Structure formats: C-alpha cells, structure tokens
C-alpha cells in the first residue's frame, strides 16, 4: 500500500465538504480523508495535520480562507475556548441537517440497514437558554484565553484565588471563567457572577482534591422553565453554616424569586457535585418540574432531563411509536427516574421499570406516588442479571407486549439484546443518545425476529453534535 503523502505538522489548504462524528468537518486531500476540528462544511481553510493514520488523517483549523455560507456569528463571547457549544458558529438549520445525516450514516454503515424511513429531525424549540441545569466548578487556577497557561507554571497561586466557570476540554485542573453563558438563563448568569463575587469578598478558599482543606467545590443551578422554580446548590468540602446563611441572604437580595438554596457537603476525594450531606438554607430543597402533565420533584442529587420541552417530544415520539393499546404491559428498561414509564402509564395496563441506580429507583417510586400512578413498579438491578439470572421479579408479572429501552451512550450489552429479543414483545422502542451504538444494537435485534420500522431523531442539545434517536421495531409474523 502506498504511504500517505501527508505528515504530522503539515499545513495544507482544503475545502470542507461534510460534517462527521464529534462535530468535525471532512475534507479530501490526495485521496485521503481528513477530519478537521472546528472547521465548518463549506469552508475553504488552512489546516494543520495532527495525526496521520492508514486511511485517514486528523487536523485542526489554522485559518479560514473562504468562510462557509453556513457560518453565523457565535452568540457566546466564550465560544472557541469553552468546549460546551462546538457548533455555535453553524446556523441551527444546518446543525439539524448534520445530525439527521449522522443518524442515517450510522444506520447504513454500522447497522447495515438500507431504505429505513428516517423521519425529519425534531428541532429544539429554543436553541439558546434551553438547559434546566448548569454545573460550574471552582478552581484556584484559571484558563486564560490569550495565554492559555496561568499560575501553575512558575509561582503557585495564592490560596485565596477563586475562579468559577467551566472546564475547557481535556483540562480538569483549570476552569475558564464564564460570566455570560447562553445555555441556561440570564438569571442563572447573575447567580454565577454573584457567587464568584461573594466568594472573593469573603476570602473563601477553593478545595483541591489532593488536599484536606479548602471550602468551595461546585455551583449547581437548576431551574424549571415551566414552574419558574429555581435552586442554587453550593457544593462544599466542609460544613460552614455561617457562610451559607450569609450566602443565602446575598442570593435572595440578588435574585428574590429564588425558591431553594441547598448546601451539599462532599468531604470525599471524589471530584463530583454529589455529597454525603445536604443542608437546606431556603425553601424545600427541591424544585418542581413538569413533563407531559406530570409533576416531578427534582432534588439536588436527582437526575433530570436538561432540555424539558425536547424531553417531552422524545417521550411523545416513544409513545406514538409504541402504538399502545389499553391491555399492554410495558417494560421500560434503563428506566432512570421513571419518566418514560410514568409518561406511558395512563395508556396501558401495567409498566415495569428496571434500573441499576438505587436512588433513581427511589425517585421513580416517589414520582409515581406524587402523580397518583398505581400501575407502575420499579425493579432495581443490572439488566445483565435481571434479564438472565435474577429474574424472579418477572414471575408475578404478565409478559411484556411492548419493551422500551433507553440505555446510556455505550448502548446495550449483547446478552441484554438477546434477552430482550427473547421477551418476544410485539414492539420494541429504542431511545438512544448515541446513534452509533444504537445502530450496532439494532442490527443484533433485527438479526431474526424483528424488523426496523422507522426512526425519528430529536435534538435535545443545540450547538453540540449530540443527537437522540428513537427507533421502533416490530416482531415479524411467524
Ligand atoms: C439514558 S439514561 C435513561 C433515563 C430515563 N429513561 C430518562 O429518560 O430519564 C440510562 C439509564 O440506564 C441506567 N443503566 C445503565 N446501565 C445499566 C444496566 N446495566 N442495568 C440497568 N440500568 C442501567 C443508568 O443508571 C441510567 O439511569
């Protein structure tokens, strides 16, 4: 095989033609495919080659020579450094086309399907300020845009240095200070900036994972666009009630309609925004969310969908694709906090959710109770065991007529796929946040007994390359 002519470090001019995985753009150069970070299909650009593999190369954008007609001015002033919104410089309609194509490509190339009806992607009602939750990190070190290295090279930072923002991609030791994020709301930005100011004025310290000192860890802001309730959760290393009381007073002066303030205390080494204790300084310690007429209590540690209107459209699609009848028994596998199960409950005889995280099961049961739903049950366990070995939970239940699966990005374990086929349901609805693993699993599901009927992508995360996809399979008649 002829060696590629490209080398690492080469700078070449290319024309970008398509969008590829992870938001990269594709170019062809002397028979080689190039994946280019931060370029936009339609650009002609100078790019620098960063890696050369057998059949493709990788490159980063050096300079745009002729901009793509799909380019728009990014709205966020942190764009390009913050890794949050890779596609803000691409018009939203084009983002949707790329996501749609990504689903088609995965089905064809990974799943081996042809001619599957891929319905038009459901775009997000709001392309900005769509998130219900933001998690910011405190750090003693700042990522500077002009000079992307700070204090740690040379003298060490003062212990009282407080920076608050988002991690830049692949850098977990430093944060990019954010003062105006376009993802949650202007009020959320006010809380962010007021918190940073408060921390500096009061000389609060930042906790570093390798030390047993320092106070601040994370700031988590949750808000429901539907009920208007809003939570601030300050995650700290230790319990300092005086500081929290002063912080709450300051927050209320700044944002009078704040409904709850929580202090999560995490004295462990794990750098996560969860903790061993939660102290409530204002309100009830949770906010109420609404999806499909159902109410959910979302506490500081609960998982909840971040783009609620789109989650509702995703669930509507799952419900429509399931073609439920009143006598149906539905298994909701990977059920999380039970939102899909509860959303389907009024249309069927019974729903059973299976989920591995105990706290999610407790939330699901609580949510069922709060909404007066009595035909749902939730089973805790890893599906690899719950469908193969520890199957006693199925004994008292009728066999499912419809199965809904909503696995994590890694998709389903092959053994679980086989067991799901063995359940012999009339329909399987597969909700996925990763079209590649979904296509792989669909191929296995359709090996013999099932036929892929149609799919519909749903955009939950504008300006990112992520896309959700709902697929429905039908059992072949014997
Ligand atoms: C994409 S979430 C789905 C959440 C839920 N359907 C919703 O819409 O909110 C995937 C869920 O699968 C759970 N999970 C991951 N691996 C699992 C396994 N092997 N067995 C059971 N549940 C698992 C995770 O804890 C998570 O709650």
The CATH number given to whatever domain includes residue 350 is 3.40.50.150
Percent of the residues in the chain that have a pLDDT greater than 90, as a whole number: 76
Q: Are residues 120 and 153 in the same domain?
A: no
Residue 144 — very low, low, confident or very high, per pLDDT cuts 50/70/90?
Answer: low
Identify whether the C-beta of residue 58 lies closer than 8 Å to the C-beta of residue 50.
Answer: yes
- Round to whole Å and give the CA distance between 187 and 193: 10
Ligand 1 centroid – CA 335 distance (Å) = 6
Q: Pick from 271, 299, 327: which residue ends a domain?
A: 299
Ligand 1 centroid – CA 350 distance (Å) = 20
pLDDT value at residue 190: 97
pLDDT value at residue 153: 42
Which residue, judged by its Cα, is nearest atom 7 of ligand 1?
Answer: 336
What is the CATH classification number for the domain harbouring 190?
Answer: 2.40.50.1070
Q: Are residues 350 and 459 in the same domain?
A: yes
Ligand 1 atom index nearest CA of 354: 21
What is the CATH classification number for the domain harbouring 36?
Answer: 2.40.50.140
Ligand 1 atom index nearest CA of 337: 9
List b or e across 136-173, with b for residues whose CB sees 16 or more CB atoms inside 10 angstroms.
Answer: bbbbbbbbeeeeeebbeeeeebeeebbbbbbbbeeeee
Nearest partner of 232 among 173, 192, 180, 186, judged by Cα = 192
What's the whole-number mean pLDDT along residues 414-428? 96
Which residue, judged by its Cα, is nearest atom 1 of ligand 1?
Answer: 408
Residue 145 — very low, low, confident or very high, per pLDDT cuts 50/70/90?
Answer: low
List b or e across 45-64, with b for residues whose CB sees 16 or more CB atoms inside 10 angstroms.
Answer: bebbbeebeeeebbbebbeb
Residue 148 — very low, low, confident or very high, per pLDDT cuts 50/70/90?
Answer: very low
Point out the least confidently predicted range of 309-313, 397-401, 419-423: 397-401
Whether 86 is covered by a domain: the verdict is no
Q: Are residues 119 and 172 in the same domain?
A: no
Q: Are residues 174 and 143 in the same domain?
A: yes
Residues pairing with 353 in the sheet: 332, 378
Ligand 1 centroid – CA 129 distance (Å) = 26
* Separation in Å, CA 430 to CA 100, 109, 397, 459: 17, 18, 22, 16
Which residue, judged by its Cα, is nearest atom 20 of ligand 1?
Answer: 382
Which residue, judged by its Cα, is nearest atom 27 of ligand 1?
Answer: 336
The verdict on whether 181 is a catalytic residue reads no
Q: Which of 76, 82, 181, 433 is catalytic?
A: 433
Ligand 1 centroid – CA 325 distance (Å) = 25
What's the whole-number mean pLDDT along residues 160-182? 84
Q: Are residues 445 and 333 in the same domain?
A: yes
Ligand 1 centroid – CA 80 distance (Å) = 32
Whether 2 is covered by a domain: the verdict is no
pLDDT value at residue 154: 38
Ligand 1 atom index nearest CA of 413: 19
Q: Which of 334, 386, 470 to mutate to test the pocket of ligand 1 (most atoms within 8 A of CB)?
A: 334
**Helix, strand, coil in percent for the chain, rounding step 5:** 25, 30, 45
If you average pLDDT over every residue of the chain, what do you get?
91
Ligand 1 centroid – CA 438 distance (Å) = 14
Whether 79 is covered by a domain: the verdict is no
What's the whole-number mean pLDDT along residues 346-374? 94
Q: Are residues 168 and 263 in the same domain?
A: yes
Ligand 1 atom index nearest CA of 382: 20
Identify whether the C-beta of residue 234 lies closer than 8 Å to the C-beta of residue 264.
Answer: yes
H or E, element range at 383: helix 383-386
Residue 233 — very low, low, confident or very high, per pLDDT cuts 50/70/90?
Answer: very high
pLDDT value at residue 55: 85
What phi, psi does 318 have (nearest 5°)?
A: -60, -40
Q: Are residues 219 and 264 in the same domain?
A: yes
H or E, element range at 11: strand 11-19
Whether 247 is covered by a domain: the verdict is yes
Query: Between 435-445 and 414-422, two packed helices, what is the crossing angle to 10 degrees?
Result: 50
Ligand 1 atom index nearest CA of 433: 1
Q: Pick from 299, 330, 349: which residue ends a domain?
A: 299
pLDDT value at residue 387: 84
Q: Are residues 322 and 466 in the same domain?
A: yes
The conformation of residue 477, written as its DSSP 8-state character, comes to P
More confident residue, 478 or 147: 478
Point out the least confidently predicted range of 141-150, 193-202, 268-277, 301-310: 141-150
Q: Which two tokens stand for residue 223?
A: 């808000």
Number of domains observed in the structure of the chain: 3
Ligand 1 centroid – CA 394 distance (Å) = 19
Residue 155 — very low, low, confident or very high, per pLDDT cuts 50/70/90?
Answer: very low
Q: Are residues 151 and 229 in the same domain?
A: yes
Q: Pick from 299, 334, 362: which residue ends a domain?
A: 299
> If you search the block for the tokens 């540690």, which residue do you land on?
301
Q: Which residues are near ligand 1 (CB < 6 Å)?
A: 305, 334-337, 339-340, 355-357, 360, 382-384, 406-408, 433
Identify whether the C-beta of residue 474 lies closer than 8 Å to the C-beta of residue 450.
Answer: yes
Q: Are residues 252 and 314 in the same domain?
A: no
List b or e across 297-309, with b for residues whose CB sees 16 or more CB atoms inside 10 angstroms.
Answer: bbbbbbebbbbbb
Q: Which of 314, 341, 407 to mutate to test the pocket of ligand 1 (most atoms within 8 A of CB)?
A: 407
Identify whether the C-beta of residue 432 lies closer than 8 Å to the C-beta of residue 468.
Answer: yes
Q: Are residues 396 and 374 in the same domain?
A: yes
What's the whole-number mean pLDDT along residues 444-459? 97
> If you search the block for the tokens 């069922």, which residue do you land on?
368
Whether 82 is covered by a domain: the verdict is no
pTM metric for this prediction? 0.90
Residue-range definition of the domain harbouring residue 407: 97-126+307-475
Cβ-count burial of 110 within 10 angstroms (0-12 exposed, 13-18 middle, 19+ buried)?
middle
- Give residue-wise pLDDT tens across range 321-341: 999 999 999 999 999 999 999
Q: Is the pLDDT of residue 206 over 90?
A: yes
What's the whole-number mean pLDDT along residues 78-85? 82
The contacts of residue 232 (CB under 8 Å, 6+ apart) are 191, 195, 219, 220, 221, 251, 258, 260, 261, 262
pLDDT value at residue 147: 45
Q: Are residues 18 and 65 in the same domain?
A: yes
Whether 78 is covered by a domain: the verdict is no
């Amino acid at each position: 095989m002829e060696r590629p002519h490209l080398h690492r470090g080469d700078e070449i001019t290319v024309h970008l033609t398509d969008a590829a995985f992870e938001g990269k753009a594709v170019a062809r150069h002397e028979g080689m495919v190039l994946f280019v970070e931060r370029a936009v299909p339609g650009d002609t650009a100078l790019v620098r080659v960063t890696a050369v593999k057998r059949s493709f190369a990788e490159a980063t954008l050096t300079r745009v020579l002729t901009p793509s007609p799909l380019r728009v001015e990014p709205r966020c002033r942190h764009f390009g450094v913050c890794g949050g919104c890779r596609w803000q410089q691409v018009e939203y309609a084009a983002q949707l086309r790329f996501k749609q194509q990504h689903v088609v490509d995965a089905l064809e190339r990974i799943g081996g399907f042809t001619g599957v009806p891929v319905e038009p992607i459901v775009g997000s009602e709001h392309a900005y300020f769509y998130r219900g939750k933001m998690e910011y990190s405190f750090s003693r070190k700042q990522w500077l845009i002009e000079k992307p290295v700070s204090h740690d090279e040379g003298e060490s930072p003062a212990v009282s240095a407080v920076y608050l923002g988002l991690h830049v991609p692949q850098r977990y030791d430093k944060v990019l200070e954010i003062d105006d994020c376009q993802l949650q709301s202007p009020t959320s930005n006010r809380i962010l900036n007021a918190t940073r100011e408060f921390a500096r004025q009061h000389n609060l310290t930042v906790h570093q994972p390798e030390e047993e000192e320092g106070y601040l860890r994370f700031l988590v802001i949750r808000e429901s666009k539907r009920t208007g309730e809003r939570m601030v959760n300050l995650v700290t290393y230790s319990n300092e009630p005086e500081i929290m009381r002063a912080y709450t007073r300051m927050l209320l002066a700044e944002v009078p309609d704040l409904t709850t303030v929580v202090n999560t205390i995490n004295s462990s080494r794990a750098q996560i925004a969860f903790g061993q204790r939660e102290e409530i300084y204002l309100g009830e310690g949770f906010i109420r969310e609404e999806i499909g007429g159902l109410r959910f209590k979302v506490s500081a540690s609960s998982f909840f969908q971040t783009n609620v209107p789109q989650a509702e459209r995703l669930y509507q699609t799952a419900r429509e694709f399931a073609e439920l009848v009143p006598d149906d028994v539905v298994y909701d596998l990977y059920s999380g906090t039970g939102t899909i199960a509860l959303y389907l409950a009024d249309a069927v005889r019974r729903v059973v959710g299976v989920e591995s995280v105990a706290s999610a099961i407790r939330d699901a049961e609580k949510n069922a109770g709060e909404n007066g739903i009595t035909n749902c049950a939730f089973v805790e366990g890893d599906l690899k065991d719950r469908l193969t070995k520890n199957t006693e939970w199925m004994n008292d239940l009728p066999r499912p007529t419809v199965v809904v699966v909503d696995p994590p990005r890694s998709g389903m374990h092959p053994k679980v796929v086989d067991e799901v086929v063995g359940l012999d349901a009339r329909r399987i609805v597969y909700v996925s946040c990763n079209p590649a693993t979904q296509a792989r699993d669909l191929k296995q599901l359709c090996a013999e007994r099932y036929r892929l009927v149609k799919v519909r992508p749903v955009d939950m995360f504008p300006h990112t390359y992520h896309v959700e996809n709902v697929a429905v399979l039908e059992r072949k008649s014997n």
